[in-house]
């Protein structure tokens, strides 16, 4: 007789299946796009039976290892023939157009133009198997509509607006170069090199390239040429706690990544993009990492000034000292409370008229008086409450938009909500830390 588990048993099995899907993933290697990609890579000298594309419930698509790895083992070794760099572009049909164009195009623009062209050529493209598996759209802020962009925390919103301006300015300034490519196409280049196409290419490069320094080309501008699109390798997802070594091996002529820890069979293999907080990850890569130990809440100058005492006649001079000593940047709250940099800044801003001459000592970490300590903690709490109020307003607006079940920007809204929930958690934790610090000096 079949054993009956009941509702509790079904719930338990469902949770177990969800866990297995997030850890082991669903093998995607039999999908046509990945079959074509792996066949194409094999023709270029890369073949790996143990690293398979898979879909994971928590991260989306990634790479799953089918054998155990020890610390120091190779995760992947991708031959130079598989890498798409400016040298690829200069050696292609587009190379002669770039070489004779003045003023010289940047490495970034050369790669963007080539990606757009290859996507347009479709079946005729030598890079078609790779182009086909690239995302059709991205979740970087440059894709966000204005209404959702305004739900970001202030500093991130400004950085996102700058990102949008960067892409827009690149699009406008590149029009003459794009027009010079007309003889390569049967269609009008204005219909090929659209703003949407450039945005897609820019995000593909910004989110998926590995760092690889190239010798300066005489045909490109002097901007750093450090990009390399790495097919298949770029399916590796980020995890903040992972240690890897990654570099181009001149001897083997391969881009290699080695794991810094043991990896179990059928697990997802991760790499680390760097010690980035979630605001940086969302801005540059279009995602946030759960349980990110580097996550912080930023305080910009406008918020700082709004919480200062208006009657303090020395505020302007204090801010000037802080700016001259580069203390008005990267002021943050973390899960462990206000950063040393933030507390030091607040201590200087709270110096009384008779203590003002000690400002240099404060910047070096010295304590001036117990009254100054109390005032700086009060100011930190004021800042925290100000940011909590801003967070609550943003969450209310998000909740209001959630009422629209057909919102086409749901994925973007999910990211903003996750970021704001993390912000609230950090601020609540910081308020508790400040409460304990105040009790300690009372």
In a domain, 131, yes or no: yes
Query: Domain check: are 425 and 321 in the same one?
Result: yes
Confidence at 17, pLDDT banded by 50, 70, 90: very low
pLDDT, mean of residues 219-234: 97
pLDDT, mean of residues 27-35: 95
Confidence at 9, pLDDT banded by 50, 70, 90: low
Report CA-CA distances (Å) from 319 to 87, 298, 308, 347, 374.
48, 17, 11, 12, 20
pLDDT, mean of residues 260-272: 93
Domain that holds residue 129: 84-229
The residue among 309 and 215 whose pLDDT is bigger is 215
What CA–CA distance (Å, rounded) separates 129 from 135? 13
Residues 327-363 have pLDDT tens digits of: 999 999 999 999 999 999 999 999 988 888 888 888 8
Q: In the predicted model, what is the mean pLDDT of the chain?
A: 92
Residues 286-312 have pLDDT tens digits of: 999 988 999 999 999 999 988 987 778
Number of domains the chain contains: 2
Residue 313 pLDDT: 82
Residue 8 pLDDT: 56
Confidence at 396, pLDDT banded by 50, 70, 90: very high
Residues 312-327 have pLDDT tens digits of: 888 888 899 899 989 9
Residue 7 pLDDT: 55
Matching residue, tokens 């505020």: 315
Does this model's pTM top 0.85? My answer is yes
Residue 25 pLDDT: 85
What CA–CA distance (Å, rounded) separates 199 from 91? 24
> Residue 383 pLDDT more than 80?
yes
Query: Domain check: are 185 and 311 in the same one?
Result: no
Residue 439 pLDDT: 87
Query: Domain check: are 206 and 318 in the same one?
Result: no
Q: 270-271 and 237-238 as β-strands: parallel, antiparallel, unpaired?
A: parallel
Query: Domain check: are 221 and 111 in the same one?
Result: yes
In a domain, 395, yes or no: yes
Residues 115-120: contacts with CB under 8 Å, at least 24 apart? 115/200, 115/201, 115/204, 115/205, 116/192, 116/193, 116/197, 116/198, 116/200, 116/201, 117/181, 117/184, 117/185, 117/192, 119/197, 119/200, 119/201, 120/185, 120/192
Query: Domain check: are 179 and 312 in the same one?
Result: no
In a domain, 415, yes or no: yes
**Boundary residue ending a domain (207, 229, 251):** 229
**Boundary residue ending a domain (202, 229, 256):** 229
Query: Domain check: are 218 and 313 in the same one?
Result: no
Residue 406 pLDDT: 64
Residues 363-366: contacts with CB under 8 Å, at least 24 apart? 363/321, 363/325, 363/327, 365/340
Residues 102-146 have pLDDT tens digits of: 999 999 999 999 999 999 999 999 999 999 999 999 999 999 999
At residue 51, the 3 state secondary structure works out as strand
> Residue 231 pLDDT more than 80?
yes
Contacts for 233 with CB less than 8 Å, ≥ 6 apart? 76, 78, 210, 255, 257
Query: Domain check: are 177 and 303 in the same one?
Result: no
> Residue 30 pLDDT more than 80?
yes
Query: Domain check: are 422 and 312 in the same one?
Result: yes
Residue 309 pLDDT: 74
In a domain, 276, yes or no: no
Residue 222 pLDDT: 95
Query: Domain check: are 304 and 428 in the same one?
Result: yes
> Residue 394 pLDDT more than 60?
yes
**CATH number of the domain that residue 158 is part of:** 3.90.1410.10
> Residue 21 pLDDT more than 80?
no
Residues 52-98 have pLDDT tens digits of: 999 999 889 999 999 999 999 999 999 999 999 999 999 999 999 99
Query: Domain check: are 342 and 222 in the same one?
Result: no
Question: Residue 37 is encoded by which pair of tokens?
Answer: 């990609």
Matching residue, tokens 């949407």: 196
Query: Domain check: are 210 and 114 in the same one?
Result: yes
In a domain, 252, yes or no: no
> Residue 157 pLDDT more than 50?
yes
> Residue 397 pLDDT more than 90?
yes
Query: Domain check: are 216 and 128 in the same one?
Result: yes
**CATH number of the domain that residue 383 is part of:** 3.90.1420
**Boundary residue ending a domain (229, 261, 287):** 229
In a domain, 406, yes or no: yes
In a domain, 97, yes or no: yes
What CA–CA distance (Å, rounded) separates 355 from 372? 9
Residues 139-155 have pLDDT tens digits of: 999 999 999 999 999 99
Share of the chain above pLDDT 90, in %: 80
The residue among 15 and 167 whose pLDDT is bigger is 167
> Residue 11 pLDDT more than 60?
no
Longest Cα–Cα distance in the chain: 87
In a domain, 238, yes or no: no
């Amino acid at each position: 007789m079949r054993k009956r588990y009941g509702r509790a048993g079904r719930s338990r099995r469902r949770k177990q299946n969800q866990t297995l899907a997030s850890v082991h993933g669903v093998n995607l290697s039999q999908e046509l796009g990945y079959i074509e990609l792996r066949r194409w890579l094999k023709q270029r000298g890369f073949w790996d039976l143990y690293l398979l594309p898979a879909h994971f419930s928590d991260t989306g698509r990634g790479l799953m290892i089918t054998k155990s790895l020890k610390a120091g083992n190779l995760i992947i070794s991708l031959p130079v023939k598989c890498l798409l760099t400016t040298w690829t572009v200069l050696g292609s049909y587009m190379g002669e157009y770039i070489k004779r164009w003045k003023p010289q195009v940047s490495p970034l623009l050369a790669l963007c133009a080539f990606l757009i062209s290859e996507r347009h050529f479709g079946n005729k493209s030598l890079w078609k198997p790779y182009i086909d598996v690239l995302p059709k759209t991205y979740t970087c802020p440059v894709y966000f509509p204005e209404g959702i962009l305004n739900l970001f925390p202030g500093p991130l919103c400004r950085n996102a607006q700058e990102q949008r301006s960067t892409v827009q300015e690149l699009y406008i300034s590149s029009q003459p170069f794009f027009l010079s490519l007309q003889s390569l196409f049967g269609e009008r280049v204005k219909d090929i090199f659209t703003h949407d196409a450039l945005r897609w290419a820019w995000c593909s490069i910004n989110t998926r390239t590995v760092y690889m320094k190239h010798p300066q080309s005489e045909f490109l501008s002097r901007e750093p040429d450090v990009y390399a699109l790495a097919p298949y390798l770029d399916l590796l997802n980020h995890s903040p706690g992972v240690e890897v070594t990654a570099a181009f091996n001149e001897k083997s002529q391969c881009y290699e990544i080695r794991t810094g820890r043991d990896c179990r069979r059928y697990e997802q293999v991760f790499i680390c993009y760097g010690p980035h907080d979630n605001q940086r990850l969302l801005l540059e890569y279009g995602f946030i990492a759960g349980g990110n130990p580097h996550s912080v809440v930023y305080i910009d100058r406008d918020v700082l000034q709004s919480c200062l005492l208006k009657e303090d006649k020395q505020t302007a001079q204090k801010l000037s000292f802080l700016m001259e000593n580069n203390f008005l940047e990267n002021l943050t709250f973390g899960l462990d409370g206000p950063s040393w940099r933030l507390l030091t800044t607040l201590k200087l801003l709270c110096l009384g008229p008779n203590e003002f001459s000690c400002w240099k000592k404060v910047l070096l970490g010295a304590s001036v008086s117990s009254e100054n300590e109390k005032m700086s903690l009060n100011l930190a709490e004021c800042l925290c409450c100000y940011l909590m109020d801003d967070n609550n307003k943003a969450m209310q607006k998000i909740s209001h938009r959630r009422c629209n079940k057909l919102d086409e920007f749901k994925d973007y809204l999910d990211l903003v909500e996750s970021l704001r929930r993390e912000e609230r958690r950090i601020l609540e934790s910081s308020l508790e830390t400040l409460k304990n610090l105040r009790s300690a000096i009372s």
